[in-house]
């Protein structure tokens, strides 16, 4: 109920650290209320654009902090709710990093997917009186094509021809 009061759809913005440290930042302001103001550092005239999210996670945010924002929604799965988390953004914006983690990363900086599954398995183990069955699906939508990321075939697999 608390989850529903806070809104069934939440939109978070995560700002990836700049690839080159000396690059002038386009982030002008990150508010605790989810406000994000960006500017074009290469232009002199006023280029401020204001966006509003449920929360903005700045470039120094950790994987754990990002997970914490989604944790309560993820845990509501164990009480029978349906939850979908998806990352949206241009190439190189950090979707894979946020959802899966860096390549060869430690368990510390795994992404939401791994943290969520660990969390759900822990909860299911602690509830000895209940038996849970888990199904996992991981898809990517690119150029309006849905691709099954857990499929052995590298070819595009159109939803819902293969779900596991």
Ligand X SMILES: Nc1ncnc2c1ncn2[C@@H]1O[C@H](COP(=O)(O)OP(=O)(O)OP(=O)(O)O)[C@@H](O)[C@H]1O
Known binding site: residues?
A: 89-96
Give the nearer residue to ligand X in terms of CB position, either 103 or 152.
103
Of 26, 85, 94, 151, the one binding ligand X (CB under 6 A) is 94
How far apart are alpha carbons 51 and 42 in whole angstroms?
Answer: 20
How far apart are alpha carbons 28 and 45 in whole angstroms?
Answer: 14
- 123: helix, strand or coil: helix
Q: How many of the chain's residues bind ligand X (CB under 6 A)? A: 11
95 near 82, Cβ under 8 Å?
A: no
The residue number whose beta carbon is nearest to ligand X equals 94
Give the range of 28-36, 47-55, 87-95, 155-163 binding ligand X by CB under 6 A.
Answer: 87-95
52 near 34, Cβ under 8 Å?
A: yes
Q: Does 96 bind ligand X (CB under 6 A)?
A: yes
**Minimum separation from the CB atom of position 103 to ligand X (A):** 7
How far apart are alpha carbons 81 and 42 in whole angstroms?
Answer: 46
For ligand X, the binding residues (CB under 6 A) are 16-17, 89, 91-97, 102
């Amino acid at each position: 109920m608390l989850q529903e009061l806070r809104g069934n759809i939440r939109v978070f913005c995560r700002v990836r650290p700049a690839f080159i440290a000396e690059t002038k930042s386009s982030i002008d302001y990150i508010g605790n209320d989810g406000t994000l103001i960006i500017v074009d550092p290469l232009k002199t005239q006023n280029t401020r654009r204001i966006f509003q999210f449920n929360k903005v996670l700045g470039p120094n945010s950790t994987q754990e902090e990002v997970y914490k924002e989604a944790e309560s929604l993820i845990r509501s799965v164990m009480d029978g709710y349906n939850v979908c988390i998806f990352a949206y953004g241009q190439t190189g914006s950090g979707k894979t990093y946020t959802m899966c983690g860096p390549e060869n990363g430690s368990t510390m900086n795994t992404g939401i997917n791994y943290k969520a599954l660990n969390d759900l398995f822990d909860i299911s183990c602690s509830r000895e009186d209940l038996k849970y069955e888990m199904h996992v699906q991981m898809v990517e939508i690119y150029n309006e094509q849905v691709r099954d990321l857990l499929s052995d075939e590298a070819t595009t697999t159109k939803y819902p021809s293969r779900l596991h």
